[in-house]
Amino acid sequence: MTKKVFFRISIFYLIGITLSNVFRFDLLSLNESGEKQSVIELLITSPLGAIGLLIGALISMYLLRKERKLKYSLFGTSTKWSIVMMTIPIVLLGIFGVQNTNDVNEHLFGIVGGIGTLIYCFCEEIGWRGYLQDELKSTKEWQRVLVIGFLWYFWHLSFISNQNFIDNIQFLGWMIFGSWGLGKVIDSTKSIIAATCFHVIINIMMFNGEMTNGIDGSSKRLILGISIFLWVLILIIWGKQEKTIANRIDNSTSKH
C-alpha cells in the first residue's frame, strides 16, 4: 500500500467513524426530546448516522480521481435498471406498510422509511463499495473483502453497547459476508445504487430498529423474497444486455 493510498483511506475512515458516530450515538442529544417526528424530519435525520462515510468518501474519491479514473459510478452501466431496482423495496414497503410510533399512516411511513433507509444505505455504500473497494482494486479479492469487512464492523462500534463475544463475532461475519456479496454486485454492475439496494433489504430485515419492528414476519418474508427475486432477475437481464453491447462493439471494431 502506497503512502497516497494509506492517506486517502485514513481521511475516509477517520471522518467516517468520527462524524457518523456523533449521530449514531446521539452525542448531540437530537433524539432526547421524545417528541414524535414528522415525515420530513424522518427523511432528514435518517441518513445522519452514515453522513461521515459520505463526506469522507467524497473527499477521498476527489483525491483518487486526480490519480486515475474511478471504477464505479452512481448508476453504473445502466441508469434504467439502477432506478428500477431502488424503487422495488420502496413500493413494497408502501404496499405492506410499517407500524410506527410517530402516528404516521403505516403505508406513508413505509414509503418514507424506505426512502430514508435507501439514503442511509447509499451513504454507506458510496464509502465501502464506491470508494474503498475501488481504492483497493489492486489487492486480491479475499484481502479486499477482509479489510472492508473488518473496517465496516469496527465502524459500527457495536462492541461498546453489546460486549457479548459471540454476538460480535457473528456481526463481524455478517460484515465480511456482506463485503463479499455486495462487492460482487457492484463489480458486475459498476452501480453504487445496485449495491445499495441489497444493503437496504438487509437493514430493513435485521438492523433498522423501527422499520424492523414495524413489519410482521410474513410481510418481511414477502418483501425479502419479492425484492431478491426481482433483483436477481434484473441482474441477469442487465448482464445479458451488457454482453450484447460488448459483442456489438467488438464486431464493429473488427470490421474496421
How far is Cα 112 from Cα 39, in angstroms, rounded to an integer?
Answer: 7
Q: Which residues pair with 191 in a beta bridge?
A: 73
For 209, residues 6+ apart whose C-beta sits below 8 A from its C-beta are none
Q: What string of H, E and C letters represents the secondary structure of 201-245?
A: HHHHHHHCHHHHHCCCHHHHHHHHHHHHHHHHHHHHHHHHHHHHH
Write out pLDDT tens, residues 172-184. 999 999 999 999 9
**Residue 111 near residue 98 (C-beta atoms within 8 A):** no
Write out pLDDT tens, residues 13-68. 999 999 998 888 877 776 665 566 667 777 888 788 899 999 999 999 999 999 99
How far is Cα 235 from Cα 227, in angstroms, rounded to an integer?
Answer: 12
**Does this model's pTM top 0.75?**
yes
> Where are any strands of DSSP class E within 97-150?
none
- 3-class SS at 191? strand
For 190, residues 6+ apart whose C-beta sits below 8 A from its C-beta are 71, 72, 73, 76, 77
Per-residue pLDDT of the chain (256 residues; tens, 9 = 90+): 799 999 999 999 999 999 998 888 877 776 665 566 667 777 888 788 899 999 999 999 999 999 999 999 999 999 999 999 999 999 999 999 988 877 888 999 899 989 999 999 999 999 999 999 999 999 999 999 999 999 999 999 888 888 899 999 999 999 999 999 999 999 999 999 999 999 998 888 776 666 778 888 888 889 999 999 999 999 999 999 888 876 666 566 566 5
How far is Cα 47 from Cα 54, in angstroms, rounded to an integer?
Answer: 10
